[in-house]
Amino acid sequence: MSEPEAQLPPKGQPKVADDEDIEGFEHDGVNNDGKSKKKRNRVKKKSGASKQSDPPRVGLTKIFTDGIFPEGEICEYKNDNMYRTSSKEKKALEDAVNADPEETYQNIRRAAEVHRQVRAHARKHIKPGMTTTEIVNNIEDGVRALVEEDTTGSLQAGIGFPTGCNLNACAAHYTPNAGDTTVLQLRDVLKIDIGVHVKGRIVDSAFTLNFEPTYDALLAAVKDATNTGVKEAGIDVRVADIGAAIQEVMESYEVVIGTNTYPVKSIENLTGHSINRYKIHGGKSIPIVKTSDPGIMEEGEYFAIETFGSTGRGRVVENGECSHYAKVFDVKVPPLRLATAKSLLKTIEKTFGTLPFCRRYLDRTGESNYLLALKHLVAQGVVQDYPPLWDVRGSMTAQFEHTILLRPTCKEVVSRGDDY
């Protein structure tokens, strides 16, 4: 889920389980840092474990019955941090994290495996002629089933944020509201942004689909730029350096349509971001253009590395009907004038906490006629609204995104899959 810079506040298809061992993806030869890849630990299917269905609707704890989920892509640190790979002290820090059921990396890896399996089905089945509502419902039904959504109010597992289903010049923060009849067309460029959480550890990863080749170069530019950001990220790395590297790669591409050539531009006011527990935008931004940001990445931090490219002006503005909202983290709730706003806030706190939600999700809770109350919560600063973000109409935008964990001993690209 994108973080608009200066507009909003901080905020692999795996193989289907069968009677054989379940292995994660592997890349040939080297990893993204140019170093020899580490083989991932093999995750064996226990006797009596379930198989995944099609569409995927089997909870992952029924497949990975020992609670051990596949690692992401493992990348060794470079330069002054190379010592971390074999450091006993750093390994001990990781062991301590994994001994804590609230903090263990297995929570992140479980969410990531849900993401991979759900998106694999989505990438295979999304076709022109489908409505955006059909697309997001299929994805969200899969996430709820595979992550085994907690509906008790304790928010132990579920959807991390509304599924982005952004078309063409709309870069981010669109998901259909009730009654939306938008139909995917052959020439559309579709961004799908999916969030999954386990115990508040959110995996945030996105991809772009097109259905004919006009904008292949745009997708290639953004995918390359995102992989560049992932490669450059690491402990003690300046975020400004990451942004400069991303922009250089992104803007080396162009889209040719007939006799017209359109340079691909990084969308300058969208950024990646750190992620905290139950807080999708954790406070640090990862620019996708050259900046003077003095921030650095630190050990143990968790980031969404996402890039957006455009054939337009390379800057987005808020436009259109809002669907995305979130309760402001650590907000002191002022006196609320409307009784309906008080009631709606209780529903939001119980069902979503500080995780982003959309109007369709409120509909699912049984809430109705809530728009005035929701507007009041926004006006009082209790809930933040996130309208769709658009580049100039007629342009095309694309997005790719991965979630990375800066472990003490290595960088883990937790959302990496065979697909992107």
Instruction: Give the catalytic positions in this structure.
Output: 193, 204, 273, 281, 306, 401
SS3 assignment, position 210: strand
C-beta of residue 188 within 8 angstroms of C-beta of residue 400? no
CA 330 to chain CA mean position, Å: 23
**Torsion over CA of 391, 357, 145 and 139, rounded to 10 degrees?**
-20
243-270 burial, b if ≥16 CB within 10 A, otherwise e?
bbbbbebbbebebeeeeeebebbbbbbb
CA-CA distance, 290 to 50, in Å (whole number)? 48
Q: Which of 362, 356, 387 is nearest to 374 (CA)?
A: 362
Query: Environment class of residue 418 by beta-carbon count within 10 Å: exposed (0-12), middle (13-18) or buried (19+)?
Result: middle
Residue 19 in tokens: 């009677």
Length of the chain: 420
CA-CA distance, 97 to 342, in Å (whole number)? 38
Strand partners, 206: 193, 401
Neighbours of 308 (CB within 10 A): 33
